[in-house]
Structure 1
Amino acid sequence: MLDDKLFLKLVLDTMPEQVVVINKEGDIVFINKGWQNFGEENDCSCGAWEKENYLFTCKKAADNGDEIGVRALEGINAVINEQQDDLYLEYPCHSDDEKRWFMMRVVPFKLNTDFYYVITHQNITERKLAEEEVQQLANIDGLTDIFNRGYFDSFLEQEWNRCKRLNMPLSLAIIDLDDFKLLNDTYGHQQGDECLKQVAAILEQYTKRPSDICARFGGEEFALVYGNTSSEQATTVINAIVEQLKQLNICNELSLPSKTLTVSIGLASVIPCSDYTIESMIKEADDLLYKAKATGKNLLCVADLTVVD
Structure 2
Amino acid sequence: MIPLRRHLDRWLFRIGPPEPSPIVLGQRRIFVLPTPAGLAFAAALLVMLIASINYNLSLGCALVFLLGGVSVASMVHAFRNLLHLSFTPGRAEPVFAGESACFHVVVANHRHARRPSLRLKAHGAIVPFEIGAGDGGDLIVPALTAGRGWMALGRVRIETTYPLGLIRAWSVLVPDQRCLVYPAPEPMPPPLPEGASRNLGRRAGSTGDDDFAGLRPYQPADSPRHVAWKTLARGGPMLTKQFSGMDGGEIHLDWDDFPPDLDIEARLSRMTAWIVAAEQRGLAFSLTLPDARIAMGRGSEHSASCLRRLALFGKDAGADA
* TM-score using structure 1 length: 0.25
Larger radius of gyration: 2
Q: Between Structure 1 and Structure 2, which shows a larger proportion of helix residues?
A: 1
